[in-house]
Amino acid sequence: MINSSIISAVLYEALKTGGDFSELYLEDTEQNSLSMIDGKLQTANYQRKVGAGVRVLKGTRSAYACCNSLNEESLLSAARAAAAAFKGAREYETTGFSVDRIGVSCAKIPFSEINNQKRIDMLKLSTDAAKAYSNEISQVVVNYMDCDRRTWIYNSEGLHAEDRRPRTRLALQAVATANGEAQVGSLRPGYGMGFEAYAEKVDLEYVGRHSAEIAVTMLHAPECPSGAVPVVIDGGFGGIILHEACVHSLESSSVGRGNSVFCDKLGQRIASDIVTAVDDGTLPGEWGSMNYDDEGSPAQRNVLIENGVLKSYLVDRLGSRLMDMPVTGSARRQDYTYAPVARMTNTFIAEGTDDEDEMIASVPEGLFAVRMGGGSVDTLTGSFNFAVNEGYWVRNGQIVCPVRGATLIGKGADVLMKIDRIGRKMWMETGICGSFSGSIPTNVGQPRIRVSEITVGGKRGSV
């Protein structure tokens, strides 16, 4: 992409003030995005993003500068800007590129081969399925995105790594209204694949129909009771609790700075002994997968918790220096305007051995949370609260009725200890995770699980 002599000059320039490591990150991303409301196209955009970032490390200090041009002077200026964070004389030299890591795109049908009419027809198909479900569906909003991201990474230790990551996602939101009230149902399938995802993985009519079903069901649901009760949490997006309330606290950006409830707990039991949690960036075609991370390290499967025992953190290069631990192939960034930070990829609770129906049958009084919504978490304490977008009240082992307005409140460490059932089928769903290095695609997942007790916040409804 750029002459090797220019790359070497940039890395060399970045070390002139005493840095011990320099890195050049190059990006070329093409993205298509469309939005539709009630079957009418609202926007259709194409964007190409090209730029570079230069990072310098000195011990456990880091400096980063970026530019939106790949000409020699812009790259050298970025190198000088990053180097200016340090005051000193050159101590380290660069090394010739001796390590090559080349990732290949997994797309069978590149997005460049698809015209917008095919995308529009696809969005209309989902919209029509949602509208047809019920006359209470008052609005359907569909957003579509595909991108082809190419990256090149070079560093002063002789690494040259390239990756190509196709991704696509469709997000449909159906709104049901009646008697002045409204409820929303939404599905957001996405994959790290080419356009073939919509033939092989995504049932477009199901996305529309089921989103509408959720909205209508919740529209007629009573308010959720409140209290500390057993809660069964379904698979897929139920894994957001693990993601937010636990694994964010296992990232080196938190642990390395002493800002995590899980600091210094490697080898200790932090969850029920039936819980094994994994972050795996190698899964073929998944939304959070990649060949190499944004520092050029190979993606890998990281077992974070095994049979309840904390086994690993997620560690990037800077975190490795802070924690004296090896990198885990977890460095990620939104784009070239951000420095990389250890982040999640596809994060999930592994399969268990319990019967899914028995989990509900064993609940005397409690909540079945089918679809989780947004929430917040404090990584230092692990305290969280999450909305339940689709929930059902359970009494004497039977589902009584749908309920709305439920919130799960607690601490991640407590919930992990109280998981007493894990089902036999795990599945994942897509999300966009925001943190220090911007917003990135991540999968969350789990089988159906049962937690012996969680505080359910509601409006003290009666069912």
Task: Give yes or no: residues 208 and 241 share one domain.
Answer: no
The reply to whether 463 falls in a domain is no
Task: Tell me the pLDDT of the chain averaged across its residues.
Answer: 96
Rounded Cα gap, residues 16 and 24, in angstroms: 15
Q: Is the pLDDT of residue 450 over 70?
A: yes
Phi, psi of 276 (to 5 degrees): -125, 125
The residue type found at 371 is R
Residue after which a domain boundary falls, among 219, 246, 275: 219
Task: Give tens-digit pLDDT for 48-103.
Answer: 999 999 999 999 999 999 999 999 999 999 999 999 999 999 999 998 898 889 99
User: Is 235 within 8 Å of 427 (Cβ atoms)?
Assistant: yes
Task: Give yes or no: residues 214 and 350 share one domain.
Answer: no
Would the pTM of this model clear 0.85, i.e. be above it?
yes
CATH number, position 59: 3.30.2290.10
Task: Give yes or no: residues 183 and 270 share one domain.
Answer: no
Task: Give tens-digit pLDDT for 194-229.
Answer: 999 999 999 999 999 999 999 999 999 999 999 999
The reply to whether 356 falls in a domain is yes
Task: Give yes or no: residues 134 and 176 share one domain.
Answer: yes
Least confident range from 306-310, 316-320, 383-387: namely 383-387
Using CB atoms within 10 Å of the CB of residue 425, give its burial: 0 to 12 exposed, 13 to 18 middle, 19+ buried: exposed
Q: Would you place residue 1 in the very low, low, confident or very high pLDDT band (cuts 50, 70, 90)?
A: confident
Task: Give yes or no: residues 204 and 255 share one domain.
Answer: no
Name the residue among 141, 144, 89, 85 with its Cα closest to residue 119.
Answer: 144
Task: Give yes or no: residues 153 and 37 share one domain.
Answer: yes
Residue after which a domain boundary falls, among 186, 219, 252: 219
Q: What local confidence, expressed as pLDDT, does residue 459 receive?
A: 73
Task: Give yes or no: residues 197 and 304 share one domain.
Answer: no
Q: Would you place residue 460 in the very low, low, confident or very high pLDDT band (cuts 50, 70, 90)?
A: low
Structure tokens of 138?
A: 């008052």
The reply to whether 253 falls in a domain is yes
Q: Span 230-240, mean pLDDT?
A: 95
Task: Give yes or no: residues 351 and 214 share one domain.
Answer: no
User: Is 295 within 8 Å of 329 (Cβ atoms)?
Assistant: no
Task: Give yes or no: residues 281 and 352 share one domain.
Answer: yes
Residue after which a domain boundary falls, among 158, 188, 219: 219
Domain that holds residue 207: 4-219
**% pLDDT > 90, the chain:** 92
Task: Give yes or no: residues 375 and 279 share one domain.
Answer: yes
Q: What local confidence, expressed as pLDDT, does residue 413 receive?
A: 85
The reply to whether 462 falls in a domain is no
398-403/383-395 β-pairing: antiparallel
Task: Give yes or no: residues 363 and 297 share one domain.
Answer: yes
Domain count, the chain: 2
The reply to whether 202 falls in a domain is yes
Phi, psi of 384 (to 5 degrees): -145, 160
